[in-house]
């Protein structure tokens, strides 16, 4: 190719998403595959969001509100924070990109657990920062090793709680100790995409930590518990000073009108949120017990998915499941080739998965 491309981009690979339903339909002739691959909400979108979006369709000739005022107000009240502490994005992954664009300089250092959500790496590479990947310890984030990697050049640390792809959880105490021992010049991005699935007795209010740790940025999304992954909307919670920098690089209409309306309605849909949580908690228990009884190693998860160890047969099991219309997530792109990640589905989907998996596993 004659076109010169930035050298630093060559180390990046395109994102590997869960296999789309349409592809399985076309490839295997299965009319309604069960998708347990992308940690989506198995119950669909919040009904209140659907209703609000349907009503708003007639207005889509208008640009969206660039400032997301109604949603911002509602979120600020709901989270008990100031409106100017919120930055809204086209999915929380856009907030990650904004952080990189607004705050990271070339040669500064970024630390991520490894494996982790691949966008963290993208953010570091795009900013020409130096990336350090700290291996998980027994598939949990190793805060001690991350702390040891911190140098005078460290600018940003990504943490995920619960972690993807393992579902492991950082307790409040360990996080606070970690933050206390960190220079205040190091930003910590705490990605809480799966926070709503944590058991209530373990969950803690990370937003309250912002008072003592202004170097903390919390990320949340409407893609998981609120069932709005297809609309693309997420947000960051941070100090007004940092938020202002992100706002300066954000494109004006990054959050589309239907996403704003859907998210605002979904926040009021307490019943749907609770139903979703119970579906995940019960499904998580059911699948953990069923897989364990088949002799499969299941990693304890506080998220809406389970990481399982299946050994060298992982690729074969994944393909055999696909042929039977069940889509799970292979973990090759997460450097966990002997593992699979199963998103928790509806009870009947979980049951179908277990029955099919059992046949394949015991073959
Ligand atoms: C850890 C983690 N963070 C963020 C996201 C992306 O969320 P969003 O859909 O808001 O971009 C995902 C999506 O799977 C994720 O696993």
Mean pLDDT by 10 residues, the chain (363 residues): 87 84 89 94 98 98 97 98 98 98 97 97 96 97 98 98 98 98 98 98 97 98 98 98 97 97 98 98 98 98 98 97 95 96 98 97 91
How many Å is the Cα radius of gyration of the chain? 21
Cα(294) to ligand 1 centroid in Å equals 30
Domain boundary pick from 251, 268, 285: 268
Which string of b and e fits 281-318 if b means at least 16 CB within 10 Å?
bebbeebbebbeeeebebbebbbbbbbbebeeebeebb
Residue to substitute in 193, 219, 235 for testing ligand 1 pocket (most ligand atoms within 8 angstroms of CB): 193
Calculate how far, in angstroms, residue 293's C-alpha sits from the geometric centre of ligand 1: 31
Determine which residue's CA is closest to atom 8 belonging to ligand 1: 91
In this prediction, residue 284 carries a pLDDT of 98
244 in the same domain as 96: yes
Q: Do residues 241 and 279 both lie within one domain?
A: no
For residue 177, being part of any structural domain is answered with yes
Q: Where do we find the tokens 């994102």?
A: 15
Atom of ligand 1 nearest to the CA of 93: 11
- Cα 53–chain centre separation: 24
CA atoms of 276 and 191, how far apart (whole Å) = 20
In this structure, are 261 and 281 located in the same domain? no
- What is the pLDDT at residue 246? 97
Report how many domains make up the chain: 2
Phi/psi at 73 (5° precision): -60, -45
In a domain, 319, yes or no: yes
Residue 154 domain flag:
yes
For the chain, the first-to-last Cα distance in angstroms comes to 48
Closest protein CA for atom 11 of ligand 1: 91
pLDDT of residue 293: 97
* Chain centre to alpha carbon of residue 316: 27
User: CB count, 10 Å around CB of 90?
Assistant: 19
Ligand 1 centroid to residue 92 C-alpha, Å: 6
Look up residue 333 and give its two tokens.
Answer: 């792109």
Query: Which residues form the domain of 277?
Result: 16-45+271-361
Query: Ligand 1: residues whose CB is within 6 Å?
Result: 39, 91-93, 117, 160, 164, 191, 193, 221, 223, 229, 234
- Tokens at residue 145, please? 């090793």
Q: Are residues 142 and 262 in the same domain?
A: yes
Map residue 250 onto helix, strand or coil.
coil
Tell me, yes or no, whether 253 and 278 share the same domain: no
Q: Cite the beta strand spans of the chain per DSSP E.
A: 34-35, 86-89, 109-114, 130-135, 154-160, 187-191, 216-221, 234-237, 297-298, 305-309, 326-327, 329-330, 339-343
Residues 225 and 95 grouped into a single domain: yes
Please indicate, yes or no, whether residues 27 and 71 belong to a single structural domain of this protein: no
Q: Do residues 229 and 174 both lie within one domain?
A: yes
Q: How far is CA 242 from CA 73, 218, 251, 330, 348, in A?
A: 19, 12, 17, 37, 45
Report the alpha-carbon distance of residue 275 to residue 280 in Å, rounded: 9
Residue to substitute in 39, 160, 164 for testing ligand 1 pocket (most ligand atoms within 8 angstroms of CB): 164
Residue 215: name the closest of 252, 178, 247 by CA: 178
Residues 237 and 281 placed together within one structural domain of the fold: no
Reported residue count of the chain is: 363
Do 181 and 229 reside in the same domain of the chain?
A: yes
pLDDT of 16? 79
Residues 101 and 240 occupy one common structural domain: yes
Query: Which of 300, 301, 302, 299 is closest to 339 using CA atoms?
Result: 299
């Amino acid at each position: 190719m004659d076109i010169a491309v930035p050298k630093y981009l060559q180390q990046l690979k395109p994102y590997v998403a869960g296999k789309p339903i349409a592809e399985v339909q076309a490839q295997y002739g299965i009319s309604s595959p069960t998708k347990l691959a992308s940690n989506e909400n198995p119950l669909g979108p919040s009904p209140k969001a659907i209703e609000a979006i349907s009503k708003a369709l007639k207005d889509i000739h208008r640009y969206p509100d660039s400032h997301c005022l109604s949603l911002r107000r509602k979120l600020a009240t709901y989270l008990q924070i100031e409106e100017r502490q919120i930055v809204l994005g086209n999915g929380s992954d856009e907030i990650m990109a904004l952080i990189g664009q607004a705050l990271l300089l070339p040669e500064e250092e970024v630390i991520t657990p490894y494996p982790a959500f691949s966008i963290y790496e993208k953010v570091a590479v795009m900013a020409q920062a130096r990336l350090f990947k700290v291996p998980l310890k027994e598939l949990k984030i190793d805060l001690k090793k991350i702390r040891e990697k911190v140098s005078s050049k460290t600018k940003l640390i990504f943490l995920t709680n619960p972690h993807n792809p393992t579902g492991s959880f950082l307790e409040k105490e360990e996080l606070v100790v970690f933050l206390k021992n960190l220079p205040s010049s190091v930003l910590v991005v705490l990605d809480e995409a799966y926070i709503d699935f944590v058991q209530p007795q373990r969950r803690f209010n990370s937003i309250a930590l912002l008072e003592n740790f202004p170097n903390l940025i919390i990320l949340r999304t409407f893609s998981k518990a609120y069932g709005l992954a297809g609309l693309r909307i997420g947000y960051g919670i941070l100090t007004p000073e940092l938020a202002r920098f992100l706002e300066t690089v954000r494109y004006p209409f990054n959050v589309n009108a239907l996403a704003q309306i859907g998210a605002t309605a979904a926040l009021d849909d307490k019943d749907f949120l609770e139903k979703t949580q119970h579906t995940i908690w019960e499904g998580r228990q059911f699948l953990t017990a069923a897989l364990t009884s088949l002799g499969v190693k299941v990693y304890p998860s506080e998220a809406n998915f389970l990481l399982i160890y299946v050994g060298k047969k992982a690729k074969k099991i994944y393909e055999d499941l696909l042929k039977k219309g069940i889509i799970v997530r292979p973990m090759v792109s997460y450097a966990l080739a002997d593992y699979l990640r199963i998103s928790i589905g509806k009870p009947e989907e979980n049951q179908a998965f277990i029955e099919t998996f059992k046949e394949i596993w015991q073959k």
